[in-house]
Amino acid sequence: MTMYGSFPGARPRRLRTNPVMRRMVAETRLHPADFILPAFVLEGASEPVPISAMPGVVQHSRDSLKKAAAEAVAAGVSGIMLFGVPEESKKDALGTPGTDPDGILQVAIRDVRAEVGDDLLVMSDLCLDETIDHGHCGVLDAQGRVDNDATLERYAEMAQVQADAGAHVVGPSGMMDGQVGVIRDALDQIGREDVAILAYTAKYASAFYGPFREAVASSLKGDRKTYQQDPANARESLRELALDLEEGADMVMVKPAGPYLDILARVADAVDVPVAAYQISGEYSMIEAAAEKGWIDRDRAILETLTGIKRAGAQNILTYWATEVAQKLG
């Protein structure tokens, strides 16, 4: 006699039976418009310079940066976040290249705007670490500590020259208290109310920034633990979030992405503005290194990490794979 009812009535596996079924019921979908491409431009470079700690990523020349921007547009990527790397001899205690209209970042902004116009959001890193001789994100006081309020004055100037160069969005990444409010005031004072601020709201003092230091030729000695967030803390991210929104942030970001998906989810649940996450250099390099060893499937790992970041609540993702993944999705 055949017995019925001895097996489970609910079988979730029915919704996993083939690729079309899995695609139809997918709760999270990646789209080229989700992505923002971080890009480095090296002053004086005649051709791209490979970054050894980030296989496949380069310090661009001005010409190769314009090509990368055009490729991003063709792939459907939404934005490009620019980091300028000045000649070492031009770095000083004030980060002067950061406010020089002819500094490499401002030149790069103008180059990319001339190449792609409004077809790609041109975003600019607003921080002193690439341009300052000691490598910190702000100017130092007499005791060698980062001077928050003196740094804000420099950030205000940087915001204005970046806006004048053509940035659609500025991204203050230095984690100085009050930076969003000062930058908003500085932009409004020159009639650039149209320039948006992507606030680095939760930026943690992470070990995963290592490869980035090579990418921007960082001069940093020591660490940034006195102004970037402690990886042990979560609640203070929501405090930073409230302050940034009060000061006028248009978008907010969590950085790094992968190790802080819990923070990303909490931020996304708390706001009604766009939320971004930055899949940083160490996250990129770990996957590339493991794939090179044959330990993981590179393409699957890339898509899995990006899907996890979006599933946690990121509307936009800064990733060095932006163009590559957008091309495959498209």
Question: Which residues are the active-site residues?
Answer: 203, 255
**Phi and psi torsions of 16, nearest 5°:** -125, 15
Q: Select from 286, 319, 256, 244 the least CA-distant residue to 81.
A: 319
* Residues 66/70/75/81 CA torsion (nearest 10 deg): 40
User: How many CB atoms within 10 Å of residue 30?
Assistant: 19
User: How many CB atoms within 10 Å of residue 28?
Assistant: 11
Q: Select from 178, 233, 239, 184 the least CA-distant residue to 206.
A: 233
Residue environment code for 96-111, b if the CB has 16+ CB neighbours within 10 A, otherwise e: bbbbbeebbbbbbbbb
Give the span between the Cα atoms of 202 and 229, in whole angstroms: 7
Q: Select from 191, 204, 217 the least CA-distant residue to 133.
A: 217
Tokens matching residue 272? 């009604």
